[in-house]
Protein backbone atom coordinates (compact mmCIF):
# COMPACT_ATOMS: atom_id res chain seq x y z
CA UNK A 1 0.00 0.00 0.00
CA UNK A 2 1.29 3.43 -0.94
CA UNK A 3 1.34 6.14 1.68
CA UNK A 4 -0.17 8.63 -0.78
CA UNK A 5 -3.34 10.05 0.75
CA UNK A 6 -5.46 12.96 -0.33
CA UNK A 7 -6.75 15.47 2.22
CA UNK A 8 -10.52 15.86 2.34
CA UNK A 9 -12.78 18.84 1.70
CA UNK A 10 -15.93 19.37 3.79
CA UNK A 11 -19.26 19.39 1.99
CA UNK A 12 -22.38 21.41 2.79
CA UNK A 13 -24.51 18.45 3.86
CA UNK A 14 -21.95 17.20 6.40
CA UNK A 15 -19.91 14.69 4.42
CA UNK A 16 -16.35 15.20 3.21
CA UNK A 17 -14.78 14.34 -0.13
CA UNK A 18 -11.15 13.42 -0.90
CA UNK A 19 -9.49 16.23 -2.89
CA UNK A 20 -8.10 13.78 -5.45
CA UNK A 21 -9.94 10.78 -6.88
CA UNK A 22 -9.97 8.28 -9.68
CA UNK A 23 -11.96 8.81 -12.89
CA UNK A 24 -13.17 5.74 -14.77
CA UNK A 25 -14.40 6.90 -18.19
CA UNK A 26 -14.11 5.17 -20.73
CA UNK A 27 -13.12 1.93 -18.99
CA UNK A 28 -15.36 -1.11 -19.44
CA UNK A 29 -16.30 -3.35 -16.50
CA UNK A 30 -13.20 -5.55 -16.70
CA UNK A 31 -10.81 -2.64 -17.18
CA UNK A 32 -12.49 -0.68 -14.40
CA UNK A 33 -12.23 -3.59 -11.94
CA UNK A 34 -8.49 -3.94 -12.63
CA UNK A 35 -7.75 -0.20 -12.54
CA UNK A 36 -9.88 0.49 -9.45
CA UNK A 37 -8.16 -2.28 -7.49
CA UNK A 38 -4.77 -0.81 -8.46
CA UNK A 39 -5.98 2.66 -7.56
CA UNK A 40 -7.12 1.57 -4.07
CA UNK A 41 -3.68 0.04 -3.54
CA UNK A 42 -2.06 3.27 -4.73
CA UNK A 43 -4.01 5.22 -2.10
CA UNK A 44 -7.07 6.59 -3.95
CA UNK A 45 -10.24 6.72 -1.85
CA UNK A 46 -12.59 8.62 -4.19
CA UNK A 47 -13.96 6.76 -7.24
CA UNK A 48 -16.05 8.38 -9.94
CA UNK A 49 -18.34 6.49 -12.29
CA UNK A 50 -21.70 7.04 -14.03
CA UNK A 51 -24.68 5.10 -15.31
CA UNK A 52 -23.62 6.31 -18.76
CA UNK A 53 -20.10 4.83 -18.49
CA UNK A 54 -21.55 1.31 -18.26
CA UNK A 55 -18.87 0.28 -15.74
CA UNK A 56 -20.50 0.62 -12.31
CA UNK A 57 -20.39 -3.16 -11.78
CA UNK A 58 -16.66 -3.15 -12.60
CA UNK A 59 -15.97 -0.29 -10.22
CA UNK A 60 -17.79 -2.15 -7.43
CA UNK A 61 -15.87 -5.32 -8.27
CA UNK A 62 -12.52 -3.49 -8.10
CA UNK A 63 -13.39 -2.09 -4.66
CA UNK A 64 -14.34 -5.55 -3.40
CA UNK A 65 -11.23 -7.19 -4.88
CA UNK A 66 -9.03 -4.64 -3.13
CA UNK A 67 -10.42 -5.74 0.24
CA UNK A 68 -10.84 -2.16 1.46
CA UNK A 69 -13.75 -1.45 3.83
CA UNK A 70 -16.79 0.13 2.18
CA UNK A 71 -16.68 2.94 4.73
CA UNK A 72 -13.15 3.90 3.68
CA UNK A 73 -14.06 4.77 0.08
CA UNK A 74 -16.12 7.60 -1.34
CA UNK A 75 -18.20 6.49 -4.34
CA UNK A 76 -19.67 8.92 -6.84
CA UNK A 77 -22.02 8.04 -9.67
CA UNK A 78 -24.36 9.99 -11.98
CA UNK A 79 -27.66 9.33 -13.70
CA UNK A 80 -29.07 10.07 -17.16
CA UNK A 81 -31.94 12.29 -18.27
CA UNK A 82 -34.53 9.51 -18.36
CA UNK A 83 -34.49 9.59 -14.53
CA UNK A 84 -35.20 13.30 -14.18
CA UNK A 85 -38.08 13.12 -11.72
CA UNK A 86 -38.35 12.60 -7.99
CA UNK A 87 -39.22 8.88 -8.34
CA UNK A 88 -36.73 8.57 -11.20
CA UNK A 89 -33.84 9.70 -9.00
CA UNK A 90 -34.74 6.94 -6.53
CA UNK A 91 -34.90 4.37 -9.31
CA UNK A 92 -31.51 5.56 -10.59
CA UNK A 93 -30.09 5.22 -7.06
CA UNK A 94 -31.45 1.68 -6.80
CA UNK A 95 -30.02 0.69 -10.18
CA UNK A 96 -26.58 2.14 -9.46
CA UNK A 97 -26.34 0.81 -5.91
CA UNK A 98 -27.25 -2.69 -7.15
CA UNK A 99 -24.56 -2.56 -9.86
CA UNK A 100 -21.96 -1.14 -7.47
CA UNK A 101 -22.95 -3.71 -4.84
CA UNK A 102 -23.44 -1.14 -2.06
CA UNK A 103 -26.33 -0.08 0.13
CA UNK A 104 -25.53 3.64 0.12
CA UNK A 105 -23.76 5.96 -2.33
CA UNK A 106 -21.53 8.78 -1.12
CA UNK A 107 -22.40 11.26 -3.87
CA UNK A 108 -25.05 10.98 -6.60
CA UNK A 109 -25.03 13.56 -9.41
CA UNK A 110 -27.47 14.63 -12.09
CA UNK A 111 -25.12 14.01 -15.03
CA UNK A 112 -26.37 16.81 -17.35
CA UNK A 113 -29.11 19.39 -16.76
CA UNK A 114 -30.98 18.74 -20.04
CA UNK A 115 -32.96 21.96 -19.70
CA UNK A 116 -34.88 21.02 -22.87
CA UNK A 117 -36.96 18.57 -20.83
CA UNK A 118 -36.88 20.94 -17.83
CA UNK A 119 -37.10 18.27 -15.12
CA UNK A 120 -33.78 18.65 -13.30
CA UNK A 121 -35.41 20.51 -10.40
CA UNK A 122 -37.69 17.50 -9.74
CA UNK A 123 -34.70 15.16 -10.06
CA UNK A 124 -32.84 17.21 -7.47
CA UNK A 125 -35.85 17.02 -5.13
CA UNK A 126 -35.52 13.25 -5.46
CA UNK A 127 -31.86 13.53 -4.44
CA UNK A 128 -32.75 15.51 -1.32
CA UNK A 129 -35.18 12.80 -0.24
CA UNK A 130 -32.47 10.12 -0.77
CA UNK A 131 -30.12 12.25 1.34
CA UNK A 132 -32.71 12.51 4.11
CA UNK A 133 -33.27 8.76 4.31
CA UNK A 134 -29.53 7.98 4.39
CA UNK A 135 -29.29 6.40 0.93
CA UNK A 136 -26.86 9.17 -0.03
CA UNK A 137 -24.21 11.10 1.94
CA UNK A 138 -24.02 14.02 -0.50
CA UNK A 139 -25.91 15.25 -3.56
CA UNK A 140 -24.88 17.18 -6.60
CA UNK A 141 -24.90 18.12 -10.21
CA UNK A 142 -22.60 17.88 -13.19
CA UNK A 143 -22.22 20.24 -16.13
CA UNK A 144 -24.64 22.75 -14.58
CA UNK A 145 -24.26 26.45 -15.39
CA UNK A 146 -25.11 29.24 -12.91
CA UNK A 147 -28.61 29.68 -14.31
CA UNK A 148 -29.34 25.96 -13.79
CA UNK A 149 -27.94 26.07 -10.25
CA UNK A 150 -29.99 29.20 -9.55
CA UNK A 151 -33.18 27.22 -10.26
CA UNK A 152 -32.21 24.84 -7.43
CA UNK A 153 -31.26 27.70 -5.11
CA UNK A 154 -34.64 29.34 -5.78
CA UNK A 155 -36.26 26.19 -4.34
CA UNK A 156 -34.03 26.29 -1.26
CA UNK A 157 -31.79 23.44 -2.46
CA UNK A 158 -27.97 23.55 -2.79
CA UNK A 159 -25.78 20.85 -4.34
CA UNK A 160 -22.72 19.76 -2.38
CA UNK A 161 -20.71 19.52 -5.61
CA UNK A 162 -20.94 20.64 -9.25
CA UNK A 163 -18.63 18.51 -11.41
CA UNK A 164 -17.50 20.36 -14.55
CA UNK A 165 -14.86 20.17 -17.24
CA UNK A 166 -11.97 22.20 -15.85
CA UNK A 167 -8.22 22.40 -16.44
CA UNK A 168 -5.64 25.18 -16.98
CA UNK A 169 -6.91 25.70 -20.54
CA UNK A 170 -10.52 25.95 -19.30
CA UNK A 171 -10.43 27.72 -15.93
CA UNK A 172 -14.19 28.63 -15.78
CA UNK A 173 -13.79 31.63 -13.41
CA UNK A 174 -17.42 32.82 -13.47
CA UNK A 175 -18.81 29.39 -12.68
CA UNK A 176 -16.25 28.86 -9.92
CA UNK A 177 -17.08 32.23 -8.36
CA UNK A 178 -20.75 31.26 -8.34
CA UNK A 179 -19.90 27.94 -6.64
CA UNK A 180 -17.71 29.65 -4.03
CA UNK A 181 -20.42 32.18 -3.25
CA UNK A 182 -22.89 29.37 -2.46
CA UNK A 183 -20.53 26.91 -0.76
CA UNK A 184 -20.63 24.44 -3.67
CA UNK A 185 -17.42 22.44 -4.14
CA UNK A 186 -16.05 22.46 -7.69
CA UNK A 187 -14.96 19.07 -9.00
CA UNK A 188 -12.88 18.97 -12.21
CA UNK A 189 -13.55 16.34 -14.85
CA UNK A 190 -10.87 15.73 -17.49
CA UNK A 191 -8.52 17.53 -15.09
CA UNK A 192 -5.38 16.68 -17.10
CA UNK A 193 -6.67 18.72 -20.01
CA UNK A 194 -5.40 16.53 -22.85
CA UNK A 195 -2.05 16.04 -24.55
CA UNK A 196 -1.76 19.59 -25.86
CA UNK A 197 -1.72 20.87 -22.28
CA UNK A 198 0.54 18.10 -20.98
CA UNK A 199 3.06 18.91 -23.73
CA UNK A 200 2.87 22.68 -23.30
CA UNK A 201 6.25 24.35 -22.67
CA UNK A 202 4.96 26.06 -19.50
CA UNK A 203 3.89 22.73 -17.99
CA UNK A 204 7.05 20.97 -19.13
CA UNK A 205 9.32 23.62 -17.62
CA UNK A 206 7.61 23.22 -14.22
CA UNK A 207 7.81 19.43 -14.51
CA UNK A 208 11.56 19.75 -15.09
CA UNK A 209 11.98 22.20 -12.23
CA UNK A 210 10.21 19.99 -9.66
CA UNK A 211 11.27 16.62 -11.07
CA UNK A 212 7.61 15.68 -11.50
CA UNK A 213 5.55 14.63 -14.54
CA UNK A 214 3.46 17.19 -16.48
CA UNK A 215 0.30 15.49 -15.15
CA UNK A 216 1.52 15.94 -11.56
CA UNK A 217 2.06 19.66 -12.22
CA UNK A 218 -1.48 20.03 -13.59
CA UNK A 219 -2.96 18.10 -10.66
CA UNK A 220 -1.15 20.40 -8.20
CA UNK A 221 -2.76 23.35 -9.99
CA UNK A 222 -6.19 21.88 -9.16
CA UNK A 223 -5.37 20.94 -5.57
CA UNK A 224 -3.83 24.29 -4.65
CA UNK A 225 -7.10 26.00 -5.56
CA UNK A 226 -9.34 23.70 -3.51
CA UNK A 227 -10.66 21.91 -6.60
CA UNK A 228 -11.41 18.18 -6.47
CA UNK A 229 -9.69 16.43 -9.41
CA UNK A 230 -10.49 12.96 -10.74
CA UNK A 231 -7.83 11.91 -13.29
CA UNK A 232 -8.42 8.63 -15.11
CA UNK A 233 -5.65 6.26 -16.05
CA UNK A 234 -5.54 2.61 -17.01
CA UNK A 235 -1.75 2.60 -16.78
CA UNK A 236 -0.43 1.23 -13.43
CA UNK A 237 2.55 3.61 -13.31
CA UNK A 238 0.44 6.69 -14.07
CA UNK A 239 -2.21 5.58 -11.56
CA UNK A 240 0.51 5.75 -8.90
CA UNK A 241 2.10 8.95 -10.16
CA UNK A 242 -1.18 10.83 -10.38
CA UNK A 243 -1.84 10.52 -6.64
CA UNK A 244 1.74 11.20 -5.64
CA UNK A 245 1.24 14.96 -5.69
CA UNK A 246 1.29 15.93 -2.03
CA UNK A 247 5.04 16.44 -1.56
CA UNK A 248 5.64 19.68 -3.47
CA UNK A 249 4.03 23.08 -3.96
CA UNK A 250 3.83 25.43 -6.93
CA UNK A 251 4.64 29.10 -6.27
CA UNK A 252 1.86 31.69 -6.76
CA UNK A 253 3.41 33.01 -9.98
CA UNK A 254 3.69 29.44 -11.28
CA UNK A 255 0.00 28.87 -10.54
CA UNK A 256 -0.75 32.07 -12.46
CA UNK A 257 1.40 31.02 -15.42
CA UNK A 258 -0.70 27.85 -15.67
CA UNK A 259 -4.01 29.72 -15.33
CA UNK A 260 -2.82 32.03 -18.14
CA UNK A 261 -3.04 29.07 -20.54
CA UNK A 262 -6.85 29.52 -20.53
CA UNK A 263 -8.29 29.43 -24.04
CA UNK A 264 -11.89 30.16 -23.00
CA UNK A 265 -14.91 27.87 -23.02
CA UNK A 266 -15.33 27.69 -26.82
CA UNK A 267 -14.67 23.95 -27.10
CA UNK A 268 -16.65 22.94 -23.98
CA UNK A 269 -19.96 21.14 -24.66
CA UNK A 270 -22.85 23.51 -24.15
CA UNK A 271 -25.05 21.90 -21.48
CA UNK A 272 -28.01 24.02 -22.60
CA UNK A 273 -27.89 22.16 -25.90
CA UNK A 274 -26.49 18.69 -25.27
CA UNK A 275 -26.27 16.04 -22.59
CA UNK A 276 -27.50 12.56 -21.79
Query: So which residues are the catalytic ones?
Result: 53
- Choosing from 76, 242, 244, 271, the residue that interacts with ligand A2P (CB under 6 A) is 242
Sign of CA dihedral 75, 123, 29, 230: negative
Contact window for ligand A2P (CB under 6 A) among 41-49, 126-134, 225-233, 251-259: 225-233
Query: How many CA atoms lie within 13 Å of 230's alpha carbon, on the beta-carbon side?
Result: 23
- Choosing from 97, 128, 241, 271, the residue that interacts with ligand A2P (CB under 6 A) is 241
Opening angle at CA 187, ends 185 and 193, nearest 5: 150
Omega into 211 within 30° of 0, i.e. cis?
no
Are 188 and 243 spatial neighbours (Cβ–Cβ below 8 Å)?
A: no
Q: To the nearest 10°, the Cα dihedral for 19, 61, 93, 121?
A: 40
Residue 235, interface with ligand A2P (CB under 6 A)?
yes
Residue 233, interface with ligand A2P (CB under 6 A)?
yes
β-pair partners for 163: 142, 187
What's the rounded Cα separation, in Å, for the pair 254 and 17?
26
What's the rounded Cα separation, in Å, for the pair 85 and 115?
13
Q: What is the Cα Rg of the chain in Å? A: 18
> How many residues belong to the site for ligand A2P (CB under 6 A)?
15
Q: Which is nearer to ligand A2P, 2 or 235 (CB)?
A: 235
β-pair partners for 164: 188
Q: In the window 198-217, what residues touch ligand A2P (CB under 6 A)?
A: 198, 213, 215
Residue 142, interface with ligand A2P (CB under 6 A)?
no
Contact window for ligand A2P (CB under 6 A) among 43-51, 62-70, 86-94, 236-244: 236-244
What's the rounded Cα separation, in Å, for the pair 32 and 30?
5
Residue 140, interface with ligand A2P (CB under 6 A)?
no
Residue 23, interface with ligand A2P (CB under 6 A)?
yes
Q: In the window 173-202, what residues touch ligand A2P (CB under 6 A)?
A: 190-192, 198
Residue 60, interface with ligand A2P (CB under 6 A)?
no
Residue 21, interface with ligand A2P (CB under 6 A)?
no
Residue 232, interface with ligand A2P (CB under 6 A)?
yes
Instruction: Find the shortest distance in angstroms from Cβ 78 to ligand A2P.
Output: 15
Instruction: Find the shortest distance in angstroms from Cβ 225 to ligand A2P.
Output: 16
Number of helical H runs and strand E runs in the chain: 11, 10
Strands 74-79 and 228-229: unpaired
- Choosing from 60, 159, 231, 275, the residue that interacts with ligand A2P (CB under 6 A) is 231
Contact residues toward ligand A2P (CB under 6 A) are 23, 190-192, 198, 213, 215, 231-235, 238, 241-242
Amino acid sequence: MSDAAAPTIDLLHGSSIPALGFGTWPLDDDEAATAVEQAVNAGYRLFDTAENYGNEAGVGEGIRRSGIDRGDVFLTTKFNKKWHSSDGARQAFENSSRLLGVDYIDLLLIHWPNPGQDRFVDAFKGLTSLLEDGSLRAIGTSNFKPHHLQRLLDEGMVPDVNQIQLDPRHTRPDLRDFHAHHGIVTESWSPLGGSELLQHATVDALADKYGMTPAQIVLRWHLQQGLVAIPKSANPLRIKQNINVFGFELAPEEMESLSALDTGDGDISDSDKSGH
